[in-house]
Chains A and B, each alone.
Chain A
Amino acid sequence: MRRKLLTLAAFAAGSAMLLSGCAPSAPAGTGADSSDSADDVTLKVWSWRTEDIEKYNSIFDVYEKENPGVTVEFEAFQNTEYNQILTTGLAGSDGPDIPMVRAYGQLQPNIVAGQLEPIDGKVDGLDEIAPSVIAGAVGKEDGKTYAVPLATQTLQMFYNKDIFKENDLEVPTTWKEFVAVNETLLANDVTPIALGAKDDWILPIFADIIGSGRYGGSEFEKKVLDGSATFEDPDYVASLQLVEDMKKYMTPDVVGVSYTDSQIQFTSGQAAQFPGGSFEIATFSTQAPDMNIGSYQVPLPPKAVAEAPVTPAYADGNFAINSKSPNKEAAFKLLNWFATPEFGQLVADDLNQFSAVPGVEYSDKVMAEAWDNYEKSKAPYLLLVNFRYGEPLGTAVLGQQVQKMLLGEQDAAGAASTLQTGISQWFTPTK
């Protein structure tokens, strides 16, 4: 009997150990008293830019040199899984000190859940950044700023200069010329437009590149926000119709082409144009360093509301501070650095991105061209900037609808009304 009791005790103790034995082994970084000795701090930075790992490492080498004792550990996760990783990482105790967070609506859940540290008044240089860019880092409800924006992404049409030359083509300045360019390419057996329509996130981008001028960019934004127009507005529907009209210039069965496939199509010279964000510039220059790339704003189609062609844009990539971070002091110091022109110039030169910090020079020709176009006439990437604050996301709805349009299962009016129904579920105009 006693032996049995002993064994019982042994089992109980054993299983208890099994359960608790590993409890103390909390992940690195949560070690205590790292905040009071600023000498040896390791800051974990998370991002979704797997393609930039080496570049970020060299950027942080600069910071580490200037700030002895600080080690910046940069970790990048796959873009498509980043939301999940960030959600669990910030909810759990193994999160980063400084996460790169999404902008605008996709940032709100983290703010509402108290996972991020407000940074107003604690980061010098925040005031220098353009309000339209800061808007991506602000809490909708409390109006506080939660992150330092990294970059502005501009959306435009990229083209292969060599292919244009071979086919005697010029950058189109009118819609007629734009159509003629595509027809010529088609006749010469070059795919005019590379688009990875299998990945639906690229499609609202494409829709704005082609159609922002048609529906009237910023003007339409104001009207939709104050309720004097909806997405069922004939001008918006007409802009979506342009997307469908472009279908004949894409690869046959374009919905089967993945985003990466479309990149390869463009960089390998199989397609002449690529509608995309400025974030492509870095990818193109690594994948095809010898390629001659240019970019242009798609000309205004007939009956366009805007008076000049526009470049839609949005703020992308925000560096925030995890409210659970034990190294907040050091994290704020790094965040301050993110708002300096020094970092901004590194972003421009190393990452090939348009820095959010003003006063940065773009020596890269492709970048300079795109930036000049953007400075000439700006527009918001409407669905991303304003319509990701609730479920369903405007971009997600339109992405799927455009896919259906390209498959011939939906028309422009139907897509627009589905978009309106979707966002109406949470969006109420403010007069």
Chain B
Amino acid sequence: MQAKFNKTALLVLLITSFMCACQKEEYVIPDPVSDLTNDCIKRTIGPNIVSLPIEFAYAMGIPKSKGKLVSAQVEASIAGATGTYLEHRSFYTNTSGVDVPVTVGNPSSNDGKSTRMTFTVDTTAATLRYFYVIPEEARGQSVTFTFSATSSNGQTVSYKMGPYVIAKMSIKKNIAVSNGNLAYISVENMAAYNAAEAAANAGKIDLVYLYRATPASFTHALVSPAAEGSYLPGVTLPSGVNRNSKVRKVFNLQDRNLANLQFGIYVDDKDLQEVDLTDAPNYALGLRAEAGTWVETADRKYRAYIFVNSVNANGSAVISMLRYAL
């Protein structure tokens, strides 16, 4: 009887403890900023490709009673390419959702790895965009950034970002190709040539672009020079153009950097490293806008992803390319 009573009492005690132990925490208002502070976010996503920018938003602020902002600076571990700059305008988003710029300083200046901007208006808070154009020297390397700001009361703050790995692949956008004209494509040079130029670069021509209305499934095509004649109807190849590239059609792979469409898909180094084209054919017919092809050159020196931006019924197209050196 006593044992049963003890067990019951213990159970009641446990239940009561659980019910009373959980307390709602009161919301505590965080302490306001009392000194110069900063914060930073990286706005660009996807692989970091040479010649494309990495964008940051760097925010800094100081209480009005303490002073005002004097300067902002970014130092990269590898100097940025031409076009690297720190925005001299601060942005705010209006009620319509539009980012509105407000000029707050002189245009920035680059000095080696540093980019610096000086405020020319009295401001105690600003968010500046930083655009780092990835240089060739950074290919395959890691890059770090140190953002810093100074205020009129002598304070300095800094914020480190990175490291970010820079892709090994290269990008070339909006290459115009046309039937019987700029029809000879070089993956190595990431360019399209006419017949005369192709003859001069015969060893580098990997694909032939052609358009045929019949059969109905042919239309826009990328064909290796060494493909069967039925896949190059009416084409007389320039002298020496005879490489045998592997080509595999893809659809629904609208790489954001190539297509600039609403899709958030990215082709990265790893995709080009691991794609298996062992048994791929040497032609791709029936290409349409937003189609793509994986390509491997005959000498296995390069792999590429070629995206078809647009096609025209007159026998032309615009393509963009990501190329990876194996």
Q: Do A and B bind each other?
A: no
A residues near B, CB below 8 A? none
B residues near A, CB below 8 A? none
